[in-house]
Amino acid sequence: MDWDKLRIFHAVADAGSLTHAGDALHLSQSAVSRQVRALEEALNTTLFHRHARGLILTEQGELLFDATSSMVKRIDSATARIRDSEEEVFGELKVTTTHGFGALWLAPRLTKLYEKYPDLKIDLMLEERVLDLPMREADVAIRMKEPSQADLIRKRLMSIRMRMYASPDYLAEHGEPTRLEEMVTHRLICQKPGAPQVLAGEQLVQSLLANDVQTTLTVNNYFGVLQATISNLGIGVLPDYIIEDFPTMVRVLPDIESVEVPVFLAYPEELRQSKRVSAFRDFVQDEIIAHRRQRKAMGAD
């Protein structure tokens, strides 16, 4: 089968439009349309339903798109390995992690990585769902549990806990609780139980809500919880890794915290020799060491 026709079909299926696919491939719409028709004729089937809003894959088109998607991922993997045979660190690295860790801990530190490797391009994908590394949905993952997928190299980076924090201004106005029972007079800011989050955080929130907390603000990510907490709205349930960047925050009820949550970095076995992966892994490990030193200096543990 003509790979060029398959390549064009894949671009059209991915874009859902002949025009957008043509733009991506630097081909005219008519040239793209001819290639798709030729492929349909070769297969003696219809690959797309055509309507005013764009193109929708037929059942046969879905089957072919699954196959071409797998081929594209394998080609991308091979290309990455070939490029990684060079001495320089450059090209795109797809990194996935949770919204909280990616937005609040990792992203603010990437300046140092870019300073060292200016030709590196990071595609940071913040997802609560676990992406499939062997299928190259991402190159590297940082997750709040040990990965269960096979054929992955994994390294435990650190452990975190969910704890309770408030701003000095909030505590000055509302007082600081010294016993769990006193939380009844405070507003609890947290993720709603059942929302995508680490189990340890959900369990801590459920235990707090069981003590008849009267007022709550629930937010579906830790960035929102943090912003509400530093804006003096109440006492927030947050991962401890956030706090070193907000040193004025006060830990409330220090005897109450979640169980320990392990943080793992993982990547496919086939990327073991990747210089981009190695550069990112070493950068994260250096930042973790600095993180531990900072926490120790703050007396946070």
CA quadruple 95, 101, 102, 106: dihedral positive or negative?
negative
Residue 280, Cβ neighbours under 10 Å: how many?
24
- 301 residues of the chain, pLDDT tens digit each: 688 899 999 999 999 888 888 898 999 999 999 999 999 999 999 999 987 777 899 999 999 999 998 888 878 777 766 666 555 677 889 999 999 999 999 999 999 999 999 989 999 999 888 888 888 889 999 999 888 877 899 999 999 999 999 999 999 999 999 999 999 999 999 988 777 778 888 889 988 988 888 788 999 889 999 999 999 999 999 999 988 889 899 999 999 999 999 999 999 988 888 889 999 999 999 999 987 787 777 665 5
Closest C-alpha to 81, from 231, 266, 277, 233: 277
- Of the chain, the end-to-end C-alpha distance in Å amounts to 61
Alpha helices in the chain (DSSP H): 3-15, 18-25, 29-43, 59-83, 99-101, 110-116, 168-174, 199-209, 222-230, 275-298
Mapping DSSP to helix (H, G, I), strand (E, B) and coil, where does residue 212 land? coil
CB-based contacts of 196, cutoff 8 Å, min separation 6: 128, 129
Closest C-alpha to 117, from 277, 272, 290: 277
Give the tokens for residue 115.
Answer: 């300073």
Rounded CA-CA distance 233/216 in Å is: 10
Note the pTM of the prediction, 2 decimals.
0.69
The single residue listed with the structure tokens 């004025």 is 248
The residues that bridge with 250 in the sheet, in sequence order, are 166
CA distances from 36 to 17, 23, 29, 172 (A): 12, 15, 11, 68
Q: What is the pLDDT at residue 88?
A: 67
| DSSP category for residue 259 | P
Rounded CA-CA distance 222/128 in Å is: 12
